[in-house]
Structure 1
Amino acid sequence: MDSKFFGRQVKHFRIRRGLTVRDFASLMDKSVRWVEDLEAGNRQADPNLSVARLAALRLGITLERLIAEPVDVECAGESEIVAVRAALQRHDVITGACDDSNADPVPVATLRRGLDYSRTAFQAGHFQQLGSDIPTLLVDATRAAHRHAGDDQLTAYGVLSLTLELAEAAAIKWGDTQLAVLAGHRAVAAAERSGNPVIMASAARHLGDAMTMHGEAAAAAEFVLAAATRLQPGLLRSGPEGYSVLGMLFLKAAMASAAAAEAEDRHPERHARRVPDFLSEADEHAARLGGDANYLYTAFGPTNVAAYRVAAHVHLSEGADAVAVAHGIPAPAFQSLPRERRAHLLADRARGETQAGLREDAVTTLLEAEELAPEEVRCRPRTRTLVEDLRLLGVPPSTQGRLRLLADRCGLPG
């Protein structure tokens, strides 16, 4: 174990825990000079394992985490966005008429495996790689929908719609809401070709999300509610997948209404008063589902409803309520959510803490989110904006070092 690397790791986690050099020296029962030398990598060529174990214990982390090589996070850049946009602008992808190649279409089972792989990456908080995954999936799924027949063709249209949803979700993470709306519209059209109400509802909830993020929140609420009304009978007959996507439609309606209230200057209450009703509808479908699950990549269940309730409170500038709801989620339920959803929830809680004047807590919460899914914090524009806001608002001196390092990792100017 390299002493320079070990020293940097100790300093990194000491600062993240809000400990001064003197504090850490006391915990280690050593002198301040000893800690300074340790962090500078000057104590010994190969740190003793007993020292590493004690340092990990005092820092409240595992030994493996203290000595592990740090993971560099590469954010999606313009090249990834350009690649997805270029795929959406291809003639064959737009028209559904594939090229004249004699190559056989990709089997639908293979398409599903590819989609599952990319969706798993998304739910793990890995967004950058989607810039290369999505274009290939779009072309393969379009060709399959054109070349297959019968049930395989319907399934291929379903996979195409879900791939377009993934493009929408990735574009949201990358901050390109126009691209998200484009992909969302295409997903709805492909879903209609699938003939599957579950796929249709899933596409509708994603388009609603894109419209909300693109500043069309009021229209988004009406769109997802119309979809829920139209598709509800078929969804209730579809079992757990149907319950999940139906519940998600009401969650998106709640978020769209909260966002519309946030944007409305004259009569925000007309949107805000709808939010609790939509959340209650979602609660009913979560109860029907019987617990937390991840059917069709929804992560839907009582815990996700609570996560959306946190986000709705934040949109309505009810920070203290958001924090209370977030803290009320049991730890096992929180751990049941996919990594991306957990980090997203923590980022929303940090916004609520900021609104409530709990800025030191907000920094700690953002660091917890970063540990779960670094790209959700360091790369997502809305979260980086929160980091910048906290710098401008100011935090207690004991937190400034941790916030400064976080801002550096987010690539924010000093």
Structure 2
Amino acid sequence: METGIGRRIAYWRDRRGFTQSDFGRLMGQSRRWVQDLEGGHRQTDPRLSVLERAAEALRIPLERLVTDPAPEPPVQNLPADVAALVDSLHTPTRAGNVVATEDLKRRVMFCCQAWESCHYTAAARDLPSVLADAHRTAVTSGEAAVLQSRAYQLTASLLFKYGDLARTPAVLAAERALIAAESSGDAVAIGAAARRVARGLLHQRRHAAASDYATTTAEALRPDLERAGAAGLSTLGMLYLVAAVGATGGGRTPQAVSAATDRLDEANEVAQQQGEAAADFTSFGPTNVALHQVDVLLRLDDAWSAAEAAQGIDRAAVSSLGRERQARHLVTTARASALTRRREDALRDLLEAERLAPQEVARPSVVQLVGQLLELVPSPGPELRGLAQRCGLPE
């Protein structure tokens, strides 16, 4: 099997919204078999019979697998304010000023609130000047160093929203957040910054390293974080949650399921101590643990169980969370619905996510999901076509 055909199969599988496990089931094969097929390593298979079955499963003419080049994805650029934030990470910080700590705190909190409300470009617009002033002010006190760390944490989280377009500067911001936090000696700041570093490892596809790092950090900081009240418990719980996500990186194996379940159980234990009184813009609590369980099941190629778990979560509890967390969960449930052939439910959740947080739905990975849904629906209605148009997709 030549590599070009493998790439085309991978392209159309992705366009149809199938995971490798989904496609393997349609072909009567394993996920590893699909990986080998797409990687061009199945030379011994009867070429024509494999292609005919693949074309039928993907609902495309056989010729498309044989002759069509895989279409290039549409070019996407960072929003102007986000691109300016990226640029600011590489400009001299001497442009900043030493400011009063209370003034710096107010500005950092404004950016955090903009983030939680999913006004990402508004946060990006203010962050360059906040980072510059925080750099100059951080040397004056431990509190100012914590604020510098928080500003870099927010920068990392915001840039991670844009996937590969901003992955490298996001990782840089996470590392700077950890350096600032360690200089302050504040356990909550260190734990919160370490969570962004772990997320950077996830975005670099170093899932096992992310899980190990987050778990080790949680265990090391746990005594101090438990003494720090709601902010400490929220930070501790979120470290376990990112560790659970990292544990899914190798696909659905008994070891991955066990490790992810253990981390979710540890997060739930912390959540039971804390209750729903989330702190530090984390939305951490029992409900957020339940939302992560849905995400973990989906990442473990079990979309049916993910959809079932989502239905068991109290909607009122979800609506009490921040808009950013609500919108992310809706995108997750939309993915699960698309993979389980419930396309009307997927569209409903995407439209609700857009109502809550238009900038969340404009992110590259969500736009890709909308494009996949457009391919999966034989005759897209006006709601789906309108959503695709607002996402910048061709009609």
Equivalence for 1:168: 156
Equivalence for 2:33: none
2:389 is equivalent to residue 408 of structure 1 = yes
CA–CA distance in 1 between the matches of 2:207 and 2:79? 26
In the alignment, is the contact (CA less than 8 A) between 1:318 and 1:355 conserved in 2? no
In the alignment, is the contact (CA less than 8 A) between 1:167 and 1:180 conserved in 2? yes
In the alignment, is the contact (CA less than 8 A) between 2:89 and 2:169 conserved in 1? no
Runs of 4+ in structure 1 deviating by more than 6 angstroms, as ranges, are none
2:290 is equivalent to residue 301 of structure 1 = no
Q: For 1:194-343, what aligned pairs fall within 5 Å after superposition?
A: 194-258=184-248, 260-262=249-251, 268-289=253-274, 291-343=275-327
CA–CA distance in 1 between the matches of 2:336 and 2:203? 19
Kindly state the Cα deviation for residue 301 of structure 1 after the two structures are TM-superposed. Answer: 0.4
Kindly state the Cα deviation for residue 80 of structure 1 after the two structures are TM-superposed. Answer: 2.5
CA–CA distance in 2 between the matches of 1:156 and 1:250? 27
2:333 is equivalent to residue 344 of structure 1 = no
2:365 is equivalent to residue 382 of structure 1 = yes
CA–CA distance in 2 between the matches of 1:211 and 1:80? 25
Partner deviation per Cα, 1:85-108 (whole Å, 9 max, x = no partner): 22222343xxxxx46x9x6x2111
In the alignment, is the contact (CA less than 8 A) between 1:76 and 1:127 conserved in 2? no
Question: What is the alpha-carbon root mean square deviation over aligned residues?
Answer: 1.8
Q: For 1:35-114, what aligned pairs fall within 5 Å after superposition?
A: 77-92=78-93, 98=94, 105-114=98-107
In the alignment, is the contact (CA less than 8 A) between 2:79 and 2:121 conserved in 1? no
Specify whether residues 125 and 82 from structure 1 end up closer, same or farther in structure 2 by C-alpha distance, changes over 3 A only.
closer
Q: Which residue of 156, 165, 169 corresponds with 2:144?
A: 156
CA–CA distance in 1 between the matches of 2:118 and 2:310? 20
Kindly state the Cα deviation for residue 335 of structure 1 after the two structures are TM-superposed. Answer: 1.2
CA–CA distance in 2 between the matches of 1:315 and 1:308? 10
Kindly state the Cα deviation for residue 334 of structure 1 after the two structures are TM-superposed. Answer: 1.1
Aligned length: 318
SS of the residue 1:298 aligns to: coil
Partner deviation per Cα, 1:237-280 (whole Å, 9 max, x = no partner): 1121111100000000001112x123xxxx84433321111001
CA–CA distance in 2 between the matches of 1:78 and 1:123? 18
Letter in 1 for 2:229: G
CA–CA distance in 2 between the matches of 1:355 and 1:82? 33
Letter in 2 for 1:295: A
Percentage of matched positions with identical amino acids = 36
Partner deviation per Cα, 1:272-324 (whole Å, 9 max, x = no partner): 321111001000000000x2233111110011111111111111121111112
Letter in 2 for 1:209: R
Letter in 1 for 2:363: R
Q: How high is the TM-score relative to the length of structure 2?
A: 0.77
Equivalence for 1:95: none
Equivalence for 1:59: none
Q: How high is the TM-score relative to the length of structure 1?
A: 0.73
Equivalence for 2:376: 393
CA–CA distance in 2 between the matches of 1:272 and 1:89? 40
